[in-house]
Amino acid sequence: MSRVRRRSPRPLHSRRSAWTTPTVIACSPLPLHLRCPATCPNRWHRSRRPRPRPRSSRPRPGCCTPPPRPPGCWRCGSRGCVGWRDGARSRARSWASTCGSPTRTCVPSSNGDPDPPEGTARPGTKTTTRIYGAGWPEHISVALQRIWSVTVRPPSSTTADGHTEEEEYVMGWVEKRGDGFRVRYRLPDGSLFTENGFDTREEAENRIRDVESDQRRGKFVDPRLAQTRFGDWVREWVQAHDVSAVTWATYDSHLRNHILPRFADPELGDITRMTIKVWAKQLRRELSERSVDDVVNLLSRIMGEAVDEELIGANPCRKLRLATGDQPERPHATAAQIAGLADRVSPGNAALIVTAAYTGMRWGELTGLQWTRVDTANREIRIDGKDGALHEVGGKLTLGPPKTPASVRTVHLPRFLADLLDDHHDRHPTARFVFTGGDGALHRRSNFRRRVWLPALRGDTATGRPRINPDMHFHDLRHTHKTWLIEDGVPEVLQHKRIGHKFHGVMGVYSHVTRPMIDAMLAGLQYRWEQTREQTGSTNP
pLDDT for 438 equals 78
Neighbour count for residue 3 (Cβ, 10 Å): 5
pLDDT for 66 equals 44
List pLDDT tens digits, range 13-30: 444 433 433 333 334 344
Q: Cα–Cα distances in Å, from 178 out to 13, 195, 300, 334, 468? A: 41, 14, 34, 69, 66
> Rounded CA gap, 240 and 263, in Å?
20
DSSP codes, 29-72: ---TTSPPPTT-S-TGGGSSS--PPPSSSPPPP-TTSPPSS-SS
List pLDDT tens digits, range 321-374: 766 556 678 889 999 999 999 999 999 999 999 999 999 999 999 999 999 999
What is the fold, at CATH topology level, of the domain defined by 227-309? DNA polymerase; domain 1 (1.10.150)
pLDDT for 459 equals 85
CB of 406 closer than 8 Å to CB of 383: no
Please name the CATH architecture into which domain 335-536 falls: Orthogonal Bundle (1.10)
| Domain range annotation of the chain | 172-220, 227-309, 335-536
Residues 6+ apart with CB under 8 A from 173: 146, 147, 183, 184, 185, 208
pLDDT for 259 equals 93
Neighbour count for residue 114 (Cβ, 10 Å): 20
Run means of pLDDT, 10 residues per run, the chain, 541 residues = 49 42 38 46 49 48 45 48 43 38 38 40 37 48 49 38 41 82 82 81 86 80 80 90 83 92 88 88 87 91 87 80 69 92 92 96 95 95 93 87 92 96 92 89 92 91 83 94 95 95 91 95 95 76 58
Question: Which pairing describes strands 380-382 and 410-412: parallel, antiparallel, or unpaired?
Answer: antiparallel
> Rounded CA gap, 220 and 251, in Å?
32
pLDDT for 451 equals 93
